[in-house]
Amino acid sequence: PKPWMQPGPTHPIQALKKMENFSAEFNKNLTGCVMIDTTYLQQGVIVPYERTPVWDSQHVKLPHLYTRPQSHNKHYVPSRWEVTCHALHKLTKGTSSIGDVETAIMSYNHSYKGKWTFDALYRYGQRLHTMDNNLHLLIPKMVERALELPALIKRPIPLLRQQQYQAITMSQQQISCLLANAFFCTFPHRNDTKPGSEYANYPTINFSSLFANEKDPERIKQKAEKLRAIFHYFNTVTKESHDQESEKPDGLVTFERICIPEAKLPDWKKQKMPLRNLHISSEGSIEKEGTGMLQVDFACKYIGGGVLKSGLVQEEILFLMSPELIVARLFTEKLADNECLRITGPQMYNLTSGYSKTFTWEGPYNDRTKRDMWKRRYRQIVAIDALDFKNPKEQYTKENIKRELNKAFVGFSGNPKTAIATGNWGCGAFNGDPKLKAVIQLMAAAAAERDMAYFAFKNKHLAMEIQRMHEILKNYNITVDKLYKLLKDFGEQYTREHHSSTDLYRFIREKIGYKSCL
Ligand code: AR6
């Protein structure tokens, strides 16, 4: 092997800071919109916080608040929520089939008759449910939770809109109620996704697309596999007793939209800090080994990406392991370049294996992760969306490098300074170059003053290359500003030489005068 291929030992993972090292920070007062009355929390009682209900463009439109325009017809016309309650009640007898679930959902979504199909749900019913859950018993419990909506959600849920810092904290029980409503497709105004429609800037939330037909039978199979994770989640959150007290989903979760205005973003030319510590490994994953660190979600700007469709890569799998994350789709407007979403406290419910086509639900995950004073699990996720390079050659331009640096910085900034758990961000579905993205993430981490754990997803060679590059940059005291200049120069040469095949790391080594014999 070439000399630069023999890096020294990696920074030990045990030395990286985790959430538990900063318990005082997490126990601070909650800010933003808190959906429960926290005075009773320490006694183990969760009481929803109460405020006057609203139906407006600033808040989630809840199904029980939906009113039709006054009808001139003298006959009594039931409200949409009454129709919903009536239809869903029929499913509580314990004898209902998937067909009955379809009938119920379509009764209050009749304009989608003939458009929505339920093949994946049928497949789950035919092939899988007897192995996992007893759907006859589970569906009534899900209905019950969904219909508790007026009793559980008593405060308007603000929409997390673009360029506004806002946080929402809700109980795991409230989340399960909202997700049960999403499963039964009760959210009004959320089915039309056409450009220009009211919620075109938001991800979808009703589960209809997860049940739907796919031409490719393989995809129906994958959706049915996703449903196993979803049903296991509902089974756990509606269970009356838990084997272990510590597994009980009776805590809180915070969703925080973070935006940093242009003027407050780093001037990358002037960042004189050195790179931080790096632990890198080809083994392990962000989700498991990264627990307690700031775990990166390789996100889509519409949070959750294809989780309710056919997508099945890092973000979607993460959302299936911790389905509470899916509720973010209800209120998070698509992320702009200077924004991210940070989620504190979600529980992990599912063990999965495989990736994409080989994705499999392996079984329950019993989460015993400790919690902070607000009963939030010591688990923190940050959703940052990389650029989707339809043409990978575009990623070396100054504008695109700066965009990715800023996006990573927005995700990594803030307190407390736990280490970041990341990997090949933007380098799968989005076609990025992992060597460039690793340097970009290291620069952003340095500016945000955090160490990093990098999981290279089985790619030993890549892990070694990144580790070696990091080591050289440290040894040569290459600070962030210098590295920024090097990336810019590389981009210019790349364009000048019409996408030359020069390797970025080789370019950097040469420019800094690295001598392999050193
Ligand atoms: N831990 C560490 N590395 C991983 C893991 C993991 N659990 N999973 C994957 N990788 P990708 P993107 C590595 O394609 O390119 C979704 O639909 C693996 O090498 O998920 O940013 C979103 O909703 C993989 O190739 O992220 C977005 O729409 C690479 O990370 C879009 O995909 C990138 O994973 C984002 O695409």
- Residues with Cβ within 8 Å of 182's Cβ and at least 6 positions away in sequence, in order, are 205, 206, 207, 326, 327, 330
Element (H, E) at 384: strand 380-385
HSE-CB at 293 with a 13 A cutoff on CA atoms is 27
Tell me the per-residue pLDDT of 9-64, one tens digit each, with 9 for 90 and over: 999 999 999 999 999 999 999 999 999 999 988 888 899 999 999 999 999 999 99
Compute CA 493 distance to the chain's CA centroid, rounded to the nearest angstrom.
Answer: 36
Q: Is any ligand 1 atom within 6 A of the Cβ of residue 30?
A: no
Distance 278 CA to ligand 1 centre (A): 20
Tens-digit pLDDT string for the chain (518 aa): 455 567 889 999 999 999 999 999 999 999 999 999 999 888 888 999 999 999 999 999 999 999 876 667 678 888 999 999 999 999 999 888 899 999 999 999 999 999 999 999 998 888 766 666 688 889 999 999 999 999 999 999 999 999 999 999 999 999 999 999 999 999 999 999 899 999 999 999 999 999 987 888 888 889 999 999 999 999 999 998 888 888 899 999 999 999 999 999 999 999 999 999 999 999 999 999 999 999 999 999 999 999 999 999 999 999 999 999 999 999 999 999 999 999 999 999 999 999 999 999 999 999 999 999 999 999 999 999 999 999 999 999 999 999 999 999 999 999 999 999 999 999 999 999 999 999 999 999 999 999 999 999 999 999 999 999 999 999 999 999 999 999 999 999 998 887 777 899 999 999 999 987 54
Q: Go through 405-423 and write b for each residue having 16 or more CB atoms within 10 A of its CB, e for each that does not.
A: bbbbbbbbbbebbbbbbbb
Distance 288 CA to ligand 1 centre (A): 15
Element (H, E) at 211: helix 208-211
Question: Nearest C-alpha to atom 30 of ligand 1 is from which residue?
Answer: 424
Distance 499 CA to ligand 1 centre (A): 25
Cα(228)–Cα(323) distance, rounded to whole angstroms? Answer: 12
Give all strands (DSSP E) within 172-293, no chain letters: 252-259, 278-281
Cα(507)–Cα(491) distance, rounded to whole angstroms? Answer: 11
Question: Nearest C-alpha to atom 4 of ligand 1 is from which residue?
Answer: 457
Q: Is any ligand 1 atom within 6 A of the Cβ of residue 334?
A: no
pLDDT of residue 1: 47
Give the pairing of strands 36-37 and 47-48.
antiparallel
Q: Please give the number of the atom of ligand 1 that sits closest to the Cα of 311.
A: 17
Cα(450)–Cα(476) distance, rounded to whole angstroms? Answer: 20
Q: Is any ligand 1 atom within 6 A of the Cβ of residue 306?
A: yes
Q: Please give the number of the atom of ligand 1 that sits closest to the Cα of 458.
A: 19
Bond into 416 cis (ω within 30) = yes
Nearest to 167 by CA among 264, 249, 259: 259
Q: Please give the number of the atom of ligand 1 that sits closest to the Cα of 422.
A: 2
pLDDT of residue 518: 45
Question: Nearest C-alpha to atom 23 of ligand 1 is from which residue?
Answer: 305
Q: Is any ligand 1 atom within 6 A of the Cβ of residue 298?
A: yes
Catalytic residue list: 297, 315-316
Q: Is any ligand 1 atom within 6 A of the Cβ of residue 308?
A: no
Q: Is any ligand 1 atom within 6 A of the Cβ of residue 423?
A: yes
Residue 15 amino acid letter: A
258 touches 342 (CB < 8 A): yes
pLDDT of residue 131: 60
Cα(457)–Cα(288) distance, rounded to whole angstroms? Answer: 13
Tell me the per-residue pLDDT of 203-239, one tens digit each, with 9 for 90 and over: 999 999 999 878 888 888 899 999 999 999 999 999 9
Question: Nearest C-alpha to atom 9 of ligand 1 is from which residue?
Answer: 314
Q: Name the one residue in this structure whose structure tokens are 């504008």.
A: 399
Q: Please give the number of the atom of ligand 1 that sits closest to the Cα of 425.
A: 21
In DSSP notation, 341-364 reads EEEE-PPP-EEEE--GGG-EEEEE
Q: Is any ligand 1 atom within 6 A of the Cβ of residue 286?
A: yes
Compute CA 145 distance to the chain's CA centroid, rounded to the nearest angstrom.
Answer: 23
Question: Nearest C-alpha to atom 20 of ligand 1 is from which residue?
Answer: 314
Does pTM top 0.80 for this prediction?
Answer: yes
Q: Is any ligand 1 atom within 6 A of the Cβ of residue 429?
A: yes
